[in-house]
Structure formats: structure tokens, C-alpha cells
Chain A
Amino acid sequence: ILNVEQSPQSLHVQEGDSTNFTCSFPSSNFYALHWYRWETAKSPEALFVMTLNGDEKKKGRISATLNTKEGYSYLYIKGSQPEDSATYLCAFYDYKLSFGAGTTVTVRA
């Protein structure tokens, strides 16, 4: 089982503030890194698939960067809104997905 770590485990953000959190993964034999958003009582939903060092992906107010040489990815939420409250999972892809435990974001109105 590959070691994929996410930090922090949880964070609370005031509405309108921006935030970011980290996913660390093995830097050798990199193939792809996935980000998922998992809202309470719903299914995990794919956000980004990142494959190239230096990749930056954006979806609305959410963006992600990738550093494959040092083995980390950041996910950013700009101007957080209550609907951004969810658990954000990263997963290292090596023919199978190995997930981190997630960062749970709570946006307070």
C-alpha cells in the first residue's frame, strides 16, 4: 500500500477567505495524481487528474498544482463559500488508486 498523506486533517475557513492544503506522495515512478471532492451524503466526485510536473489545473475557484520531483500537490480554494464544505481526497495512481485520508474543509458563513 503506497503512502499518501494529506494535511491538515481538517480545517475551518471563514466564508470569503482563501485556503490551501497538501497531498504528499511517493516521488518515484509517478504516473498521475487525482483529486476528488466528497460532500456529505454524496458520492466522491473527480476534480482533477494531474500528470505532468508543474501542472496547474483550475475549476472555478478551486485550483491545484503538482510537483512530482518532490512528491507533493497543493489544492487551493479561493474565496471559500459554504458549498465548498467537503472532504477533499487525493489519490496516487499507479494502475490503481491509493488514497490519502482526506482534508475536511468546513466553511463558516
Chain B
Amino acid sequence: EADIYQTPRYLVIGTGKKITLECSQTMGHDKMYWYQQDPGMELHLIHYSYGVNSTEKGDLSSESTVSRIRTEHFPLTLESARPSHTSQYLCASSPQGADTQYFGPGTRLTVL
């Protein structure tokens, strides 16, 4: 069983608030990812990292930012939440040299 955690699992917040979604993994994986998914739609890659101090934007443009100061931790931040940010956010990780990704349980974000 993969050891990748996301907090909070659910978040309801007002417009304009700053939020940070946490993602941690205990597997020592170098590669980490953030996906965004709207109901009934595909998972879209919004950020990824191939190691400490490495972050890249994904295929889907996002107003969020990420950081990778420690191997195990890959938080996602929204400086000013808006209703258009309402979505599910999933974090994943994979080891070097492997394609398979291990997913966290996701954070369901609602911005009022």
C-alpha cells in the first residue's frame, strides 16, 4: 500500500482566502505531481517536480504555486481562492526510473 497523504480531505473556504493543500509521501520518491479534476472530467496535470528545488508547470494552466523544499513534501498554494478553483486536487508520486504513480486520496476544495 502506498504511503502518500493529503490534508485536508475536504475544505470549504470563502473567496480571497489563502490556502495550502498538503501532500506528503514516506516512500522516498523523487517525482511528485499535482492533478486537478472536475466532476466527470479527466485528471489534468497542473504541477510536477523531479526532485528537491525542482518544480514545473503541467499541461493545464493553474493559478496555484508549489514548492519542493524536502523530498517528502510537495504543498500546493492558492494565494487568493476563487469559486473557479473549486475542484478536486490529487497528489501523486513515483520513484525514479518508473512510470507508475501512487496517488493520495485527494482534497476536495469548494470556494464560496
Contacts and interface: CB of A to CB of B under 8 A. Distances in A.
Interface of A: 1, 4, 9, 32, 34, 36, 41-46, 49, 89, 93, 96-102
A93 B100 CA distance: 9
A89 B41 CA distance: 11
Nearest to A87: B40
Contacts of B40: 9, 101
Given A1-B44, A101-B42, A96 B59 contact: yes
Given A9-B40, A42-B105, A98-B59, 17 more contacts: A1-B44, A34-B99, A41-B105, A43-B2, A43-B4, A43-B102, A43-B104, A43-B105, A44-B103, A45-B103, A46-B102, A89-B43, A96-B48, A99-B43, A100-B42, A101-B40, A101-B41
Contact of A46 (B4, B100, B104): B100
A32 B99 CA distance: 9
B43 A1 contact: no
A43 B60 contact: no
Contacts of A44: 90, 103
Interface in B41-63: 41-45, 48, 58-60
Interface string B23-44: 0000000000001000011111
Contacts of B103: 36, 43-45
B100 A49 contact: yes
B101 A46 contact: yes
A101 B48 CA distance: 20
